[in-house]
Structure 1
Amino acid sequence: MAALDVVRRGRRRRDPRLPRAARPTAGRHRGGGRARRRPPGRGGAAVNTVLGILARLAEARPGRVLVGLLALTIVLGAFAGGAQSDSELTAFAPDSEAAAALDRVQEEFGAGGASLQVLVDAGEGGNVLGPDGLEAARQVREAIEGSGVDLGDRVAPVSSFDQAGDRAGSLLSTDADLEAGTVTAGLVVVDLPIDLTEEEALEASTTLADAIDAQVDVDGIDVDPYNQYVLSSALQTGSEEEMPRLLGLSFLLIIGILLFQFRSVSDVLLGLVGLVVSITWTFGIGVILGPDGLGLVGPFSQISLIVPVLIVGLGIDYAIHLTSRYREEQRHGERPPAAAAMAVRTVGGALVLATTTSVVGFLTNLASPLPPIADFGVFVAVGVISAFVVMAMLVPAARNLLDARRSRRAATSAEAVAEAHRGPGALALLSGRAAVVAERAPKAALGVALAVSLLATVAATQVTTTFSQDDFIPSDSAIGRLIDRIADRFGGELTETTFVVLDGDLATPAAADAMLTVARDLSGTDLVRTTGDAAQVSSPAALVAELAADPDTAGAVADLGYAPEAGFTEAADVAGLYELVRSELPARAVSVLGPDDDAGVLVIASNAGQDRAGELESLLRTAVAPLEEAGLTATITSEPLVLEESLDALTASQTQGIVITLVAALLLLVTYYGIKERKPLLGVITMIPSLAVVSWVLGTMWVLDISFNVLTAMVASIGIGIGVPFGIHVTHRFLEDRRRYDTIDEAIRMTATHTGGAMAGSAFTTAAGFGVLVFASLVPMRQFGMIVAITILYSFVAAILIQPACLKLWGEWRARRGDVAELHEHERRRSGSEVLVGS
């Protein structure tokens, strides 16, 4: 009962952790000379002012703080409901000639005409030209006609493998034996109107696909509609369905770890409420900054879908540190209002610096040439700031309200006594024991860390980079199996198209003849699809040739100077021929010819895929020579080529991104500690664990055979964004404890116990939050979850082993120079009124 008596009577007893009030001894000069005392720098006044305001609000006006948070959450929640997502991997296209040309094709020529391919598959050993296959084709056509989708003014918008005439060969699988009348699979192709917007094409494609799925049913025949819009819709739907499941699992794991950490249901609930509010703020602000708002960022992309998981991981760190410090202050006798204010004043400084460093680290993604990665950095930065503001206001204010009410009801209840006697948790005690490494063998610890880092750096140079749409398609999903069947039946991607954008005077006989020459030269390569012996190439000149083959228009074409055998004569009226094309084939003319005959496009049905896109580009550069000789400028582009450029840009940006992030964080920390504490070297020490972690993580990626992709490419910035705050918390608390305790070893031990315990809880909850991604259906997301979880655990190990060793050596060096730090104002206030409990 001695401890309880102390609490009741308010007797002052010196905490044995503290030095004598009249003679601060931390860092005493060992040389016997006069110690130099240097007060903290006056930098950071603005931060201290803000923290002071937050502390006073949490202490005196907690109810108003919570009402303000609720109001802001309602407003931002309304915006969050309008969040848009874009699952197209071409959104990652860098600013390049090929990417710009692809945009032109889509905007000026309708992407060559979007289409929906319907695969009619009889299966191995089956024959799609048999009665069942033909019945399936008939039902597909009826479903298309009854779908209500307006297919425009095309003469024949639907081409079927059983009715296509000369085009039938291109609609049959590669095993077709026309003499025997057998073929495994065929296509029904629906050409959509040229003038559809992206949204309209998506709606038309999904409407047609739904109609076909609902109405076509033939035993033994598989019927599957497919195009990029159907693929994107399936990917987006899959992501939207999967993310709530992953978030739910993440929350369950976090709840379990927090219960173990805090042993308090209310603390856990506050943390979870804060996470939900932080995510709501992030998406609400993201919509405000997005295409429908200020237009500063794009829509949420595939990688942005992991932002909620990232905010869960980062946001819980704030809740844990604030709650842990609040509980620590209570154990030292502070009542709820004062404990809430002290938690903000002490931990708040570290959280502000950690938030700033994380934001800077993630905003370095703005240097990426890939727009979604740059936007991702903005979204996460917004999320980190939101999480800080929410947690810094919610946790202290709510704890003050809850505990003050409880303490008024039963100040001397068994629960209150138990709370007063409750010491550090198991994680804190285990973390404190790790301090023995820094106390007894700091140089050996740093030597081992250096050796491991050097080996990891060598391994990191072997990490490869990949960039493919296929990575984001689950292989065991319906769409994944469909793509595999299409590749097996038709030898590649059905929707792949390569474009040659032409600029110049197209209405000359030389230019028109050159278009036909290119088509003839491409007929002999397996990288271009053929119909019979002719390459599938659409162009303004090809449409003229098509009219010449039609008896109804052959005479008019001949009068204007074109003959099928001789081509365009020197006196041919090519402009007149183009006008004839526009009048007879208006929809198709728009897809290949500009209104003034000064721009056009060759639409090539290619079969190169991303792996051979560069080979096809080289072939085309040779093939388009006649066009350039005719005075035209030819630009080659395609989605695979743009994705290949994206891969190159991603590869080139890896080292640049890591260096920028590290340098930015280092400059920020050196500046902060130089101004605030007049100890700039602390900024370097705080960064040392993160430098080690980056090399460890990249080396681990090589060991686990994980490549850089659009998700794992951000591991370095995430590692720094998470690892540096760990280092900041250790440095911040060490400086405080160094002012309180008699020896450096004591200060390190107490730092490892209190801050290390909070970091352990944060590390395990954050790792669990990301670790649930290993249950995702997408390989890149599984790899991302695994490597980020590893990164977080590495960051904790480095912060609890490497950094204390650095601080031990630094502290001894400062002591030899005679440096003695003085208590800060709020620390002096607490030292003068501290009540010993639990002894």
Structure 2
Amino acid sequence: MASYQDVIDRIDYLVAERPKAVIVAFLLVTLVMGAGLGSISTQSGTSQFTEGSDAMEAYDAVQDEFSPAFSSSGGSTQLIQRGQNVLAKPALVRMLKAEHRMKEREELRVDTTSSPADVIAVTLDPSADSLSEKIDAVEDATPSEIDAAVRENADNPAFTSSVSDDFNAPSASATAAVGVVTHELPGGTSSSVGSSGSSPLMDIQLEAQHVVDSVGGDITVFGAGILSQDFSNVIADSLLIVVPAAALLIVAFLVYSYRDPFDLLLGIVSLVMAVIWTFGFMGLAGIAFSQMLIAVPPLLLAVGIDFGIHAVNRYREERVDGHGVVESMETTTDQLLVAFFIVTGTTVLGFLSNLTSSLGPIKDFGLVAAIGITFTLLVFGIFLPAGKVFIDTFREERDIPAFGLRPIGGEGSLLGRVLPAGVVVAKKAPYVFLICIVLFTAGAGYYGTGVNTSFNQDDFLPPEDTPAYLDSLPEPFAPSEYTATAQTNFLTDHFSRVGGSSVTVYVTGPMRQDDSLEQIRHASASPPSSVAAANRTADASSIIGVIQSYADASPSFARLVERNDVNDNGVPDDNLEVIYDELMESPYSGQASQYLAEDYRSMKVDYTIEASASQDEAAAAAESLADRYHSNSIGTGQPVIFQALTSVILNSALRSLVTAILAALVFLVICFWGFERRPSLGLVNMVPILVTIAWLAGAMRFLNIPFNAMTATILSISIGLGVDYSSHIVHRFADEYDGDVVPAVETSIRGTGGALAGSMFTTVSGIGVLAIAITPILGQFGTVTALSIFFSFLAAVIVTPSVFVVWHDLQARFGTAPDAV
């Protein structure tokens, strides 16, 4: 095709005749892109995934309208107290002093404080309003008076929800308690499930820990700011550990692959340039760096190493045949620029298929990876060949010796003897072999359909106990001290109403209607088995509980409720607006506002979930409970939101997979028709890719690696990287094929397969090193990506030769009809 050949000829001219100009131009662009590195922002945590879902919108509405008192997000800080008995006098005094000292520090912007110690203090002295008065009340009380006050509040939800599950009323003891401090922040904060790196509470909560430490005892500050710090630190720590380790492994394999210090330096400079261009573009385009984008540098290295080794290896094939520098490079670029274009096009389509996802971070990942691969094509397709011409010309003019001229996989080498194994099989029994491969692949694919799908905040957090090999690392590689996972695990284990152990039904509509409160009672009867219950009634917190608490404390309000309770079940049915008004003017107004909106047009009901219930069971229970309400209602809460995301993740993975397969198939058929007039080779090209996907899905299930926020992209990535390997083999075969299939296959596998082997070993080690990343989700991604590359290589060099033989037989049987399009 003259049109594409004209472009290649122009590149040949620039690379061979004006290499200095090409090098200078690329270095200038690198300087421009490098300026964008300083503008890169970070985004971490799970909130970036939850935005936009119905459950998340309902959760935000609940947070905005009802301002729950026991929340680790938004503008609040938790004070987690541990001890042999946190309800003993010394522990209560320490908690109150911690609240008091925080209140006194203006920079902590404390608005309100609450804790079990506050409840006990007010019980001891109902007139105690200020924290100093509460401290005096507890200090002046005897231990027996304090124990009596604790027992008096044994049925008070405001007290029991903030002490650990081992609370023992007769002995007036508990081993943990949680106080809550709310803050007034400029412009407010948004409450969301999960946290991001931009939490304005971080500085406040870090300073608060120093203040709390001054009172003694074991009180730990926790909240969205601490989560944000750990989310941000784990990104930096993972990069600091993974990048040097990957660099060492990559350099070691590149030394073997290039076996020449000048070629090694040129290859490394090209890799660095591709990374700078990609991340500089991110900074200039305002795309935030998230946990998912940590995988982009290894992916760029994977494709860049492949391109670099292929370019140098193909060039060396010409050089050992006696051709000169310019002639060898022109032959190399004539062939490889087409292969690089095919590989880049299909790889970019594989990554861009992630744009079909409804999750923003996955879209960003697909876009940045696609742009990065495009930059990699330019760097390794133009800059590296120009640099190679310049260096080799410089060396020849000054009689500087060259090293490692023999191409990888050449005859006589160990790799050269191993690689043709697939060719041997293709010669003897291609049809039997392919039937076995089809059966095995179908079985692996069917087995892989059972892969689990999950989304959990813990995937993004560092483990509670970092592995010993990480703790032994010297500075600056030693990881930070992480606390968020330990605190979240402690809250989940010791406080049944914290974390994912409760769901919320958000009800909208006129709450003044006579049956508004009866809905709660009916919905709570005979709840799903995953909901905590007593006497076949769900353990629920709602406005009904506040009404009953105030009725117990106020005889006049009790009479009002009784007069309007038609069926005498304790739930008022008439004149609800009058009851609400009375309640909102009472000392219980604060509790009431946690469940009923100011305009009486919405309410929330919190249901406790059994500790043994799974995330999907909790989400199903929330949906079932919401369906029982006559008014508009929706279930929400962390289990509901995260369970919804697991469905989104699976659907995104499947949609991206189908999109990537179809797009790659069409693109390959068009390319092989346009470049080689053999469109059926596009179908041949897809065979090892489909084999790789099926093997990978089976391996993920076997290794118990789920589809999650990061591994959900692996199927489309497998297409992108798998095409890289198979396209090089198929395109080389198309160049070598002249009607005699076996010599063409042997030359393709021995020549191009050698470069593929060097690329595979290098990139598997470079990407596989993600397995030592601190966050579990990155380790899983590194493992499956390394497997994807390894399977792609195996399929390309073992399966493809037999496919070529079958393709040749079909061509012979049907003539040129299949390719006469």
Under a length normalisation based on structure 2, what TM-score does the superposition of the two structures give? 0.80
Q: Secondary structure in 2 aligned to 1:707?
A: coil
Cα distance change on mapping 1:529 and 1:658 into 2, 3 Å = same
C-alpha deviation, 1:317, in angstroms: 1.2
- Is 96-105 or 687-696 further displaced after alignment? 96-105
Change (3 A) 1:270 1:406: same
Secondary structure, counterpart of 2:178 in structure 1: strand
For the Cα contact (< 8 Å) 2:94–2:215, is it kept in 1? no
Name the counterpart of 2:78: 117
Distance change (3 Å), C-alpha of 1:275 and 1:138: farther
Q: CA deviation at 1:572?
A: 6.0
Deviations 1:567-626 (A, max 9, x none): 768456559939x9499999989876667x374341637455794455556656676688
Residues of 2 paired with 1:814 and 1:360: CA distance?
A: 29
Correspondence for 2:394? 405
1:285–1:569 distance in 2 versus 1, CA, 3 Å: same
8 Å CA contact retained: 2:770, 2:779: yes
Q: Tell me, in whole angstroms, the C-alpha distance in 2 between the residues paired with 1:519 and 1:614.
A: 20
Partner of 1:637: 636
Which shifted more, 632-641 or 226-235?
226-235
Deviates more, 1:666-675 or 1:608-617: 608-617
Work out whether 1:489 is the aligned partner of 2:494.
Answer: yes
When residues 158 and 431 of structure 1 are mapped into structure 2, their CA distance, relative to the original with a 3 A threshold, is: same
> Counterpart of 1:362?
351
1:438 corresponds in structure 2 to: 426
Partner in structure 2 of residue 429 of structure 1 = 416
Amino acid at match of 2:95: A
Q: Which of residues 354, 359, 378 is equivalent to 2:367?
A: 378
Cα offsets for 1:447-505 (capped at 9, x unmatched): 33223213323322333323322333314254333333223322463476644333333
Measured in 2, the distance between the counterparts of 1:339 and 1:282 equals: 30
Distance in 2, Cα, partners of 1:74 & 1:599:
58
For 2:140, the equivalent position in structure 1 comes to none
Say whether the 8 Å CA contact 2:504–2:635 is kept in structure 1: yes
Looking at structure 1, the residues matched to 371 and 379 of structure 2 have their Cα atoms a distance apart, in angstroms, of: 12
Please name the residue that 1:197 is paired with.
189
Deviates more, 1:698-707 or 1:376-385: 698-707
The answer as to whether partners of 1:763 and 1:793 remain within 8 angstroms in 2 is yes
Q: In 1, distance between residues paired with 2:182 and 2:801?
A: 67
Report the CA distance shift for 1:242/1:522 in structure 2 as closer, same or farther (over 3 A).
farther
Gaps of 5+ in 2: 124-155, 467-482
Superposition deviation, residue 512 in structure 1: 6.1
State the partner residue of 1:763.
760
**Map 1:718-797 → 2, pairs under 5 A:** 718-739=717-738, 743-797=740-794
What is the CA–CA distance in structure 2 between the aligned matches of 1:318 and 1:746, rounded to whole Å?
24
Contact 1:117–1:188 (CA under 8 A) maintained in structure 2: yes
1:87 aligns with 2:44: yes
Q: CA deviation at 1:693?
A: 1.4
In 2, are the aligned partners of 1:756 and 1:800 still within 8 Å (CA)? Answer: yes
Q: Structure 1: how far apart are the matches of 2:634 and 2:250? A: 53
The yes-or-no answer on 1:260 pairing with 2:256 is yes
User: One-letter code of the match for 2:79?
Assistant: V
User: 1:180 corresponds to which residue?
Assistant: 171
Once the two structures are TM-superposed, the CA of residue 342 in structure 1 deviates from its matched residue by 3.3
| Match for residue 807 of structure 2 among 802, 810, 814 | 810
Q: Does 1:319 align with 2:308?
A: yes
Residue 805 (structure 1) shift: 2.0
Identical residues among aligned pairs (%): 27
Going from structure 1 to structure 2, the CA distance change for 1:148 and 1:725 (only over 3 Å counts) comes to same
- 1:602 is aligned to 604
Q: Is the partner of 1:510 in helix, strand or coil?
A: coil
* Matches of 2:520 and 2:737, distance apart in 1: 82
Q: Which amino acid aligns with 1:600?
A: S
Q: How does 1:273-672 map onto structure 2 within 5 Å?
A: 273-290=269-286, 299-410=288-399, 415-416=401-402, 426=413, 429-430=416-417, 432-434=419-421, 435-473=423-461, 474-477=463-466, 478-491=483-496, 493-494=498-499, 498-506=503-511, 508=512, 510=514, 513-514=517-518, 517=521, 527=531, 537=541, 570-571=574-575, 573=577, 577=581, 581=584, 597=599, 599-602=601-604, 604=606, 606-607=608-609, 611-612=613-614, 615=617, 628=630, 632-672=631-671
How far does the alpha carbon of each residue in 1:367-419 deviate from its partner, in whole angstroms, 9 at most, with x for none? 23433323322222122112112222321121122222221112xx6x25x66
In the alignment, the residues of structure 1 paired with residue 581 and residue 526 of structure 2 have an alpha-carbon distance, to the nearest angstrom, of 24
| Cα shift at 1:807 | 1.7
1:36 corresponds in structure 2 to none
Asked if the contact 2:110/2:181 (under 8 Å) is kept, the reply is no
Between 365-374 and 127-136, report the one with greater CA deviation: 127-136
Find the counterpart in structure 1 of residue 143 from structure 2: none
Q: Secondary structure at the match of 2:707?
A: coil
- CA RMSD of superposed structures (Å): 4.2
Q: 1:333 to 1:656 in 2, by over 3 A?
A: same
- Of the three residues 133, 144, 163, the one matched with 2:91 is 133
- Contact 1:176-1:184 within 8 A present in 2 as well: yes
* In structure 2, distance between residues paired with 1:668 and 1:610: 50
CA contact 1:544–1:581 (8 Å) conserved in 2: no
3-state SS, counterpart of residue 463 of structure 1: coil
Indicate if the aligned counterparts of 1:497 and 1:603 stay in contact, CA closer than 8 A.
no
Give the direction of change, closer, same or farther, for the CA distance of 1:683–1:764 in structure 2 (3 Å limit).
Answer: same
2:165 maps to 1:169: no
Measured at CA, do residues 100 and 430 of structure 1 come closer, stay the same or move farther in structure 2, by a change above 3 Å?
A: farther
Question: In 2, distance between residues paired with 1:526 and 1:670?
Answer: 53
Question: Which consecutive unaligned segments of at least 5 residues does structure 1 have?
Answer: 1-41, 292-298, 821-839
Question: Aligned partners of 2:657 and 2:649: how far apart in 1?
Answer: 12
Q: Specify which structure has the bigger relative contact order, considering alpha-carbon pairs within 8 angstroms and separated by 6 or more residues.
A: 1
- The alignment partner of 1:667 has SS state of helix
Between the aligned partners of 2:4 and 2:63, the Cα distance in structure 1 is: 50
Q: Secondary structure at the match of 1:689?
A: helix
CA deviation profile, 1:510-541 (whole Å, cap 9, x unmatched): 376458758987999995799xx9967465x8
1:823-834 matches, within 5 Å, as: none
Tell me, what secondary structure is at the counterpart of 2:280?
Answer: helix
Amino acid at match of 2:8: L
What's the TM-score, normalizing by structure 1? Answer: 0.78
Which amino acid in the other structure matches residue 345 of structure 2? Answer: T
- Aligned AA for 1:187? V
Q: Matched residues in 1 for 2:216 and 2:38: separation?
A: 44
* Preserved CA contact (<8 Å) 1:774 1:786: yes
Seen in structure 2, the aligned counterparts of structure 1 residues 422 and 97 have a Cα distance that, compared at 3 Å, is closer
Contact 2:520 2:629 in 1 (8 A): no
Q: Give the secondary-structure state (helix, strand or coil) at the position aligned to 1:505.
A: coil
Query: What SS class does the counterpart of residue 189 from structure 1 fall into?
Result: strand
3-state secondary structure, aligned to 2:506: strand
User: Do the aligned residues in 1 keep the contact of 2:87 with 2:172 (CA within 8 Å)?
Assistant: yes
For 1:247, the equivalent position in structure 2 comes to 243
Q: Secondary structure at the match of 1:188?
A: strand
What amino acid maps onto 1:429 in structure 2? G
Distance 2:811 2:629 in 1: 74
Aligned length: 749
For 1:400 and 1:572, the matched residues in 2 are separated by 86
Question: Aligned partners of 2:580, 2:352: CA distance in 1, in Å?
Answer: 55
8 A Cα contact 1:522 1:623, kept in partner:
no
Aligned-partner residue type, residue 371 of structure 2: V
